[in-house]
Structures are given as structure tokens and as C-alpha cells.
Structure 1
Amino acid sequence: MEWMKLQGPYSGPLLEFLSENRTNYDAFIFFTYLYCTTFFGLPLVGDRALLVPAAHDELPIYLSIFEGLFHAPRMILYNTEEEQQFVTSKFHTGAIPSDIIGTGIDVPEGIDPSAFEQKYGVRNFIIYVGRIDESKGCKELFDYFIRYKSETDSPIKLVLMGKAVMDVPENPDIVPLGFVSDQDKYGGILASELLVMPSPFESLSIVLLEAWHCTRPVLANGNCAVLKGQCSRSNAGLWYRNYDEFKECLDLLLRHKELRDLMGKQGKKFVEANYNWEIVEKKYLQSIGKFIASRR
């Protein structure tokens, strides 16, 4: 419990407001299971609460303090089928009504891959977008990529976008750019051959959706059920579980532009059909409507 308070953000006035106004609202929606706002706030209004847990197989979720939390809401809204399966298996929440919704993405106008290439002076690359962290699978990615380069004559480079909280190898073929603007992020994705996603822990990978919006295929960590599921449903990504599979999949994608183009088109179609804001908003309104109707 002390760890949870330190995890934050802890807001006494927020909890007081929830207690005093619990009957003034038809529904309260709590996002992510992991933080104080949900952990202390949801039980105060449990009979009117919907939870969007953003849960995945990570160490904190095995703390005993969360056992009761997942039984407190009256409806759970999941990001993916795999998240629903994990939570239902872990907490035995099958009797709680639930829906699978996801989220939308915001894309800037005028994405220009040539402007990105000119600005950063890099071409012929695969790209990683996100926090550069060992827990995100980045150490394994670096090891795999450096080994791949040593075993092949491929000129491909690895471009990194995001804050580094671990050491990045000093290697001429690994290009860390740090934080970039949304314009540069999308320009970089569109300029890349493909996006690589090595994280073992996800409830929904937004960067996969961003890559597919840009018609770029994905190479993902197949040890993450969520990433594997997203790639399978979209027909827009391959996945690896070890170095040999990483090498073969990367070789296949880099050798066959027509395959990359086809997978990218399938990815964009998948995102447009499931993850634009209009569709996501409609799903939320339907779920909230069902929830309120059931309470009444």
C-alpha cells in the first residue's frame, strides 16, 4: 500500500470529490489499473465504475493488493482480446460485463519522409519508436541487430526515437535521435523500411497502429501475446521469438519490397476499420449506454 501511494499520483481532493459526488454521476471511468487515482478512487464508486485497465503481464500486477481491485468495477473495457484473456485468467473476472474497444491515434498533416531524411541525414533504415529501456526489450534488440549486421552484408541501419534510460551501443549503424516532434516521428516511420517493436509487455501498442497508418509493416516480439495478436489480426506484421527468427523475418522483409508494401496496405486498412476516433468514440458510447441501462 505504501508503494502504491509512492507510485502516485495521490490526490486527497480527488478522492474526497468522488466520495461526496458518487450519486451525482451515472458512471465513472477509470483509466489504467496501476496508479493511485484508480486504486484508491475506483472502490469509492465501484457500483458506478467502469475500468479501462491497460493491463499486461508485468511484475506489479502480481502484487496481492490488486486482487480486489479488478472485482470492484461493474464493467471492464479492454484494449485487445489478449488483454481480456490475461485479466480474466489472472483475476477470474469472467462474470463482469466487458467490451473490447482500443484507442484512436492522432496524425499530423503533411507527413514528409524526404524532409526527415534531409534533416537527419539517414536513409535505408528500420525504426524503433518509444522509451529506450531494457524493460521494453531494447537490449535484446541491440544484441540481435548487431549480430545480424555481423552475419550479413546488409547496409540497413537502426534508427531510435525516444528517451534513452539505458546505454545505447556506440555503433555507426545505430542512430539515436532522442525526442522528436510528431511531424518528425511520422516522417521517420514513413521513411523507414519497417518498424521493429521488441517490447515483451503491452496491452495495446499504439506505435504499431501509427506504423500501419503510415503503410509500414512491423516486426514484433512474438513473446508478447498482444503484439503477436495485433500482427495476426492485421496481416501487417511478422513476429520473432529468438534471434534466428528475428534474422529470417528481417531478411524476408528487407528482400521483398512488394511484401512490405502489401503488409503496409493491410495495416492501414486495419487501423482505419478499427482504430479511428469516430469508431472508438462510438464503441465507448455504446458500452457506457449499456452500462447505464443495466444499472437502471
Structure 2
Amino acid sequence: MKILYVIPFFPPAYAFGGGPRSAFVQARELVKRGHEVTVYTTDARDQYSRIFHGNAAWVEKYISGIRVIYFKNLSLLTVRIFSLFITPTLKAFAEYEVKEFDIIHLHGFRSFQNIIVTQIAQKYNVPYLLQARGTIPRTGPLKTIKALYDIAFGYKLLREASRVIALTSEEAKEYQSIGVPREKIAIIPNGVDLSEYAELPPRGYFRKKFGIPEDKKIILYMGRIHYVKGIDILIKAYAYLLNHLGYKDIVLVVAGPDDGYLKEAKSLAISTGVSKSVIFTGPLYGKDRLSAYVDSDILVLPSRHEGFPRVILEAWACGKPVIASQTKGLMELITEGENGFLFEPENYRQLAEQLSYLLNDSTKASELGKKGKALVENKYSIDKVINQLERIYYDVVKAKKS
């Protein structure tokens, strides 16, 4: 099957969160199964830099057998201010080859690329799926612009999609709230390639690289450094552990790309008096990323809003316990006391108490990590996810032909 993925950012653009990584893992598995996968994306590496330099309108690369077309963004300023990725040369390129694909899979809801590609797809009767990946809610400072997009393009995109994919039952409800019929929605979670976790780096590699003593326990945050991710809540909880509960043997590691909140996070660490034991590593990839999980004692995800985060699956694949905020997306993933702990959003004292409990009970921490790992292996492996996705692809293509 010839499959087209459309997404505004794709590896190595990991600064934009888990979406690029999840789309890549899906595409790579589809290629392994004999499908031809092409990705239309943009040249944004992050909000301030491009993957490629020069005047080329697009660059074609093959990554793990995936054909990737990186279209040049008109300006990174629109990316920073409006999260708008404008690629003027996409239309002419897509007009030439979209008709050759069997099916199109759109990743993300509100994008310039979705508008262009679906217009051409309808012209040539090529079916498409839409997977919003947590982008349906109109949140943040751009909510008015999001509403205007929905009126002009969004509702039409959803109406004319052959199927839409939700990561969770909560996201399925979000689709329904804006008019998508339940029978049109398929729930397919993110998945992890377990082969990437079969041979983990040796313990101590991460500690040595970042100068963390062996007698210090590590609390790990992995993800974008953005206000919505609740890093301030984690820093306050960490400060409470040190300043009020008397802990001296723990280090907080904040690993991830700056998404507009790094300066504030560092200032908070200073003002709470814990900056000397908070390590901001920047983004971690490959062996460094895996070694951070291996050497950590607890992963914390204190988000104010979350869909279906890959980092929890990654931590579980490494056998690590997880504490996360009690948001709707995370409540579907974590069973309280069974494979992790949940705390009330914004409640840093409750988070500190849960951290204290696991730091003092290594048996319970190990039990949570083992149960999380079993859950990933039984339910969230990429094999199982792609089995579901392939069935939908074949059903949609068959229905379109008939």
C-alpha cells in the first residue's frame, strides 16, 4: 500500500513534542511490513532553526526506509508566534503525486498542510484519515484563531475524513463534541517499539555524563519545557521535599527542549533555593535519552493538560515508576496504585508526598515499574498498534473503491 503521512514537523524536529516521534515509529513499522510510506512535512527543526539551510524549496531524504519531503517554511516567525507552518511550494508538489497514493494519514488537526493536501486528495478521490493527536481543544492564547480555522477549514476536514483516530476515549468525546459521529471514530493509542528497549545502556552512564553522584536518587522530567507541562509544579514539589521534608539525597533532572518556559523554570529553581540540585539537560536523544530513564528512580509528568504521552510508555518500557497529574488523558493510562500514582493538578504538596513515599519504598517503586512494563508489552507495543491501524487503512481503501 502507498501511504502518505502529512505532519508539520517530523524527526529530527523532536522539539515539537511526542507527535513527531510517534508518527516516525508508526511509519517505520509500516515500512517494515512492506508498505511504501511518504511523509510531507516542513523544514522546522524547532521554533528558531531549520533542518536544512539553503534556497531549496524542498529536500527529499530517506529515514529508515521512509521517504520524507521537507518543505521550506515561508518564515519561522509564524511558527513561533502562531504555530503556523506555511509551505508555499507544497501545493505544486502535491498536485503532481497525491493521486498516486492509496490513502493519506493526517497527523494534527489545524495545519496549512492539511488544507492543501485534502483539497488535492478530494480532486483525485484519494481517501484520508485524520488523527488530531490532542489538538482538538481550543486552549491557550490562540483560541480565537483556532475557532476561525475550525469554521473556515476544520469542520470540513473532519466531515470529509473517511475516519478519525483518537488516542483515548476522552479524545473521542472531544471529536464528538464538535460534530463527529461516534461510528466514524477509531481509538488507537500511541505505541512503542519494544526492540529499542531490549538492550538498555548500562547503569551509571547518565550519572557520569552529568556529574550526578551514585548516592543521589534522580527524579526525572522528560518533555517540552512549556507552561502547560507543569514544570513549575514539579520544581515546587522538589523544593518542598528539600526545604520542608529534609531530603538531601535527591536530584531533579529536567530533560527536554525549551518551548518558551525555560527562563521561568530556572528562575523558579533559584527563587525556591534548589537551583544547585536541579539539572536542565536540554533535549536528549538516542542513548542519552534511554540512559536518563535507566538511571532515574521516578519519572514525573505534572502536566496541566495531556493527551496520550509517549514518555510514560517509554519510562514503563525501562521498568520505571511513574507519577503524573490527574488529567483526563493520564487517568486512562494510569491506574492509581497499580502502575503509578496520580496527584491533583497544581497540588505540589500532594506530588511531594507521593515522591517521598516512593523514594522511601523501593519495593513499591519497583512493583509499579514492573506492572507498567507488563502493560506496555501487552497493550502498547507498536506491533499491536499497527495491526489496528492497518485494518482501518484496508477498510477505508476497500470502501472507497467500492
* Interval of TM-score (by shorter of Structure 1 and Structure 2): 0.7 to 0.9
Aligned counterparts of 1:16 and 1:98: Cα–Cα separation in 2: 31
| 1:134 matches 2:218 | no
Distance 1:157 1:286, change over 3 A: same
Distance 1:238 1:264 in 2: 11
8 A contact 2:297–2:320 mirrored in 1: yes
* CA positional deviation for 1:43: 4.5
Task: Give the residue type in structure 1 aligned to 2:389.
Answer: Y
- 2:184 maps to 97
Give the equivalent residue in structure 1 for 2:209.
119
Find the aligned partners of 1:92 and 1:143 in 2 and give their Cα distance: 40
2:320 is aligned, of 195, 199, 216, to 216
Task: Report matched runs for 1:76-91 at 5 Å.
Answer: 76-89=164-177, 91=178
SS at match of 1:113: coil
SS for the counterpart of 2:129 is strand
| Residue 55, structure 1, aligned to residue 127, structure 2 | no
**Structure 1 residue identity aligned to 2:90:** L
Q: CA–CA distance in 2 between the matches of 1:177 and 1:6?
A: 27
Kept in 2, the 8 Å contact 1:55–1:87? The answer is no
1:10 positional shift: 2.7
Where do 5+ consecutive residues of structure 2 fail to align?
A: 1-77
Aligned counterparts of 1:103 and 1:137: Cα–Cα separation in 2: 22
- C-alpha separation between the residues in 2 aligned to 1:249 and 1:44? 52
Pairwise CA distance, 1:127: 0.3
C-alpha change, 1:55 and 1:43, in structure 2 (3 Å) is farther
Q: Deviations over 1:193-239 (max 9, x none)?
A: 110011223221011111000111111111x2112221129942211
User: Is residue 160 of structure 1 aligned with residue 254 of structure 2?
Assistant: yes
Q: CA deviation at 1:35?
A: 2.3
Q: What amino acid does structure 1 have at the position aligned with 2:210?
A: Y
Pick from 192, 197, 211: which aligns with 2:296? 192
CA deviations over 1:166-217 (Å, ceiling 9, x no partner): 2212412212222333212211212111100112232210111110001111
1:75 CA displacement: 0.3
Encode CA deviations 1:41-98: one digit per residue, 9 max, x unaligned. 3354357110011124433565232251332312011222222222222x12124512
CA distances 1:137-156 after superposition (whole Å, capped 9, x unpaired): 11222223212321101232
Read off the aligned partner of 1:82 and give its amino acid letter: E
> Residues 95, 152 of structure 1: CA spacing in aligned structure 2 closer, same or farther, 3 A cutoff?
closer
* C-alpha distance in structure 2 between counterparts of 1:143 and 1:194, whole Å: 16
Of residues 329, 338, 341, the one that matches 1:226 is 329
Q: Secondary structure at the match of 1:172?
A: helix
Change (3 A) 1:41 1:191: same
Distance 1:189 1:207 in 2: 10
CA 120–137 in structure 1, closer or farther in 2 if over 3 Å, else same: same
The 1:270/1:36 distance shift into structure 2, 3 A limit, reads same
- When structure 1 is superposed on structure 2, of 16-25 and 245-254 the one drifting more is 16-25
Measure how far apart 1:245 and its partner are. Answer: 2.1
**Paired-residue identity, %:** 22
Q: Which residue of 2 aligns with 1:291?
A: 396
Contact 1:132 1:163 in 2 (8 A): yes
Matches within 5 A, 1:266-277: 266-277=371-382
| Contact 1:30/1:42 (<8 A) preserved | no
Classify the secondary structure of the residue corresponding to 2:335.
helix
Q: How many residues align?
A: 292
Mark the CA change 1:45 to 1:203 in structure 2 (over 3 Å): closer, same or farther. Answer: farther
Aligned CA RMSD, in angstroms, stands at 2.6
Is the partner of 1:146 in helix, strand or coil? helix
Instruction: Name the residue aligned to 2:149.
Output: 65
In 2, the alpha carbon distance for the partners of 1:22 and 1:73 equals: 16
CA contact (8 A) 1:159 1:174 kept: yes
